[in-house]
Amino acid sequence: MKPVFKAQPMQVQVPATSANLGPGFDSLGLALALYDRYIAQVLDEVIIDIDITGEGAENLPRNEKNLVIKSMYKGFEFFGGKPRGVALRALNVIPHSRGLGSSASAIVGGLSLARALVLGGNERMSNDDMLNLASEIEGHPDNVAAAIYGGSTVAWQENQHGHDVARSVQLEVDPRISAIAFVPSIMVSTFKARKMLPELVTHADAVKNSANTALLVHALQHRPDLLHTATADFLHQTYRAEAMPASFALLTKLRKAGVAAFISGAGPTVLVLHIGGAVEVDELTRAAGEKFTAMALGISRHGASLISS
């Protein structure tokens, strides 16, 4: 059945996300209260009309290669047909290539717009459907799961009938927990960061990492006092230090002081989880120094959502 498209424009917002959270490599995600916004409308003429403002605007394509557009058309294909044309307006605030899920936001934003623009789209595309479509585009489900569901998520893939299927569960994050993102000016591509990882790790490191990942699931929900111990990683961060020396130096400094700090996603942003107030945020910001822009962020309890016109 071909889709029936709505005539009116639809607008969505998608949170920034942090993946890994230290030891939870390619599995744990966290939605942060920093949102990219996208508004789209189907057109009768064969055209892709794109306008972008904010982060990365000067570097992003204004054609079918745009990641939001690609994701929208992936969503339209799911419904069985695409419109003749699309107009897209994007307001980006999530820093690009800094480990805060800008690509996940674009992917989930595009799929959310496609679902919103199709009559009956919410009934025909579930969040689980969206997770699988987003994972196919992104290549892994950790960031996109958090962007879809909000809060913290555990995501994985399992083989069903010869195909990998992305799955996710949502964790309710302890309301006392907040975040600080220390964002440097340098960029690090996820592809480059992944190339730096070894093929093998020691059994001892794997044991410590799996223990901390399990502990982190509990700490996020009930025991923020355990976050410093639970966010210690033995799997990936040290192998990437060469690509982000300033970030790794800050990470080391903060963890020695007992702060629950880790590299956000593939980096180079350093993310801190804490239960302190404004005084602690000021102290940590001073400790980070001038090489980083500090962003005090809440945890986004909800994922991608429609915004009323």
pLDDT tens digits for range 222-249: 999 999 999 999 999 999 989 999 999 9
- Is 116 within 8 Å of 94 (Cβ atoms)? no
Helix H or strand E encompassing 152 = strand 152-160
The structure's pTM equals 0.95
Pick the CATH number of 10-171+300-307 from 3.30.830.10, 3.30.230.10, 3.40.50.300, 3.40.50.970: 3.30.230.10
Tens place of pLDDT for every residue, the chain, 309 residues?
789 999 999 999 999 999 999 999 999 999 999 999 999 999 999 999 999 999 999 999 999 999 999 999 999 999 999 999 999 999 999 999 999 999 999 999 999 999 999 999 999 999 999 999 999 999 999 999 999 999 999 999 999 888 899 999 999 999 999 999 999 999 887 777 788 888 888 999 999 999 999 999 999 999 999 999 999 999 999 999 899 999 999 999 999 999 999 999 999 999 999 999 999 999 999 999 999 999 999 999 999 999 976
Instruction: Specify the domain boundaries for CATH 3.30.230.10 within the chain.
Output: 10-171+300-307
Instruction: Specify the domain boundaries for CATH 3.30.70.890 within the chain.
Output: 178-297
One-letter identity of residue 107: I
One-letter identity of residue 173: V
Residue 195, pLDDT score:
84
Strands 85-92 vs 48-54: parallel, antiparallel or unpaired: parallel
CA distance 169 to 136: 18
- CATH dotted code for 178-297: 3.30.70.890
CA distance 130 to 110: 10
Name the one residue in this structure whose structure tokens are 């990683």: 233
Using a 10 angstrom Cβ sphere, with 0-12 exposed, 13-18 middle and 19 or more buried, the burial of residue 175 is: exposed
